[in-house]
Chain A
Amino acid sequence: MKEYLIVANELGMWIACSFVVLVVIFQALLFMSRAYKAGIKMGIAPEKLKSGMRSGAITSIGPSVAVVIAMVSLIASLGGPFAWMRLSVIGSVPFELMAASAGAEAMGLELGGEGYGLLGYANSIWTCTLGAAGWLVLCALFTHKFNDLRMYVVRGNEALLPILSVSAMIGAFAYFGAPYLALRGSASTASYITGGIVMIIITKICQKYNWNALKEWSLGIAMVAGMFTALLFV
């Protein structure tokens, strides 16, 4: 094991990295408890709120496991604690790998490569931290302004707000998926198409039999179907 990795995996580093994760947990719990209370007061059926949470939980498991598997590469070069912190706050595996490599490059080194020691590691930590800082600051300062903008766009016609949201979601998912469909080879394409077909079948079944519990599982099932179908094309 490289020497800097001893520091990168020591207890102190775990403690240093845990502060920000605590903020993430605090925010999630606070927002959830406030949302639940407000939801009840607004007259939303508790069953609906719980259904939303169950669906969120089921949908999260698969992609979270995928993050852990991808995280292994990040742990190898940045150690457990920092990889764990980065993937709990803002980051994603490709972004952090890019930022950490930029940090190594700034010192004329390669991430985890020859000559990449404690100083290179420290510099990668700086680039990862600075890379995410922009989003934190900009969102802290301007999020409520984005809302003014949205309200200006609909100009009092609140019936337009759902149209805005659904259209944006459709646009975003098309954007997320297109590279996998078109540029990443046949296994990705197969996974994409299978996921889509399975989802349509499940949604039709849900509608026909009014089976709401299945709706919560729909994306989970579509994911599993897609990822294993991909194996046939690897």
Chain B
Amino acid sequence: MDKNQVYKTFIKGIIFWGRITLLVAFALSFIPALYLKVVHGVMPPISIILKDFGLIASIVVVSWIVEPIAYFPILGITGTYMAWLSGNISNLRVPVSAMSQEAAGVKEGTPEGDIVSTLGMGISVIINLVVLVIGVFFGVKLIGNLPPLITTAFEYILPAVFGAVLASFSLRGPKLAAFAFTVALVFSLLRLPMWIVLPSCVFGTIVLGVVMFNRESKRKISC
């Protein structure tokens, strides 16, 4: 079987299992709420639950739609199923996807890139779970006893992650990085909402990337 055929079969299986796992997780995520009802007889009245839904939906409905689409060019099919099931997307899944492909030396957006990204993200899901379990069972006391300097330092780990990954990309695509950086910085300073800033950064950079690519290929042809 040739490479593309193998990858196509792989993706077919992923779509099948991805949909099943997400829908099953959706159903099972209600168990804690139902447990309180069945075992303790506690459940908010339906009117309150509807109000909850209205309240929460009004806050996140835009994110439900905009974020999966904006992250799709990064995560691909496999990564989208994994990231939207396991969460912690900006702080774990996307950096891991980027760094694992960089370390393996595969191109993002290709079948090879997708395979490596899937492996890296899978590991990150498992590690995240293990660390969380340790944290929940033993960590609360442990964390209480950590020197405050350490816990404070961890509050500042994310800016370092984002600065580092963007810097790494800036070596490969300086113009794209400069463009995205400027847009993100200006829009954030203006305090525009997520649903404007995220798509502007992602799709704006994609448009610029495609335009630059087309120009370069034209130049190559004319030479």
Contact = CB atoms under 8 A, between A and B. Distances in A.
Interface in B57-86: 57, 59-61, 63-65, 67-74, 76-78, 80-82, 84-86
Interface string B6-45: 1101100111011101111110111111111101101110
A127 to B, nearest CB: 5
Q: Is the interface of B mostly helix, strand, loop or mixed?
A: helix
Nearest to B207: A167
B10 A38 contact: yes
Interface string B145-164: 00001011111111111111
A161 B73 CA distance: 8
A19 B28 contact: yes
A48 interface: yes
Interface in A1-24: 7, 12-13, 16-17, 19-21, 23-24
Contact of A164 (B63, B99, B210): B210
Contact of B152 (A7, A118, A234): A234
Interface string A71-96: 11001000011111101111110000
B103 interface: yes
Contacts of B117: 52
A115 interface: no
Contact of A98 (B25, B59, B103, B204): B59
A161 B157 CA distance: 31
B21 to A, nearest CB: 4
Contacts of A31: 14, 17, 78, 81-82, 118, 122
Contact of B73 (A43, A69, A81, A165): A165
A177 B72 CA distance: 19
22 contacts: A16-B32, A23-B21, A27-B21, A27-B85, A31-B14, A32-B123, A42-B111, A57-B127, A69-B154, A92-B87, A98-B59, A123-B48, A136-B84, A147-B77, A160-B210, A176-B94, A178-B184, A179-B188, A191-B163, A196-B166, A218-B168, A226-B161
A143 B18 contact: yes
Contact of A103 (B52, B61, B90, B134): B52
Nearest to B101: A52
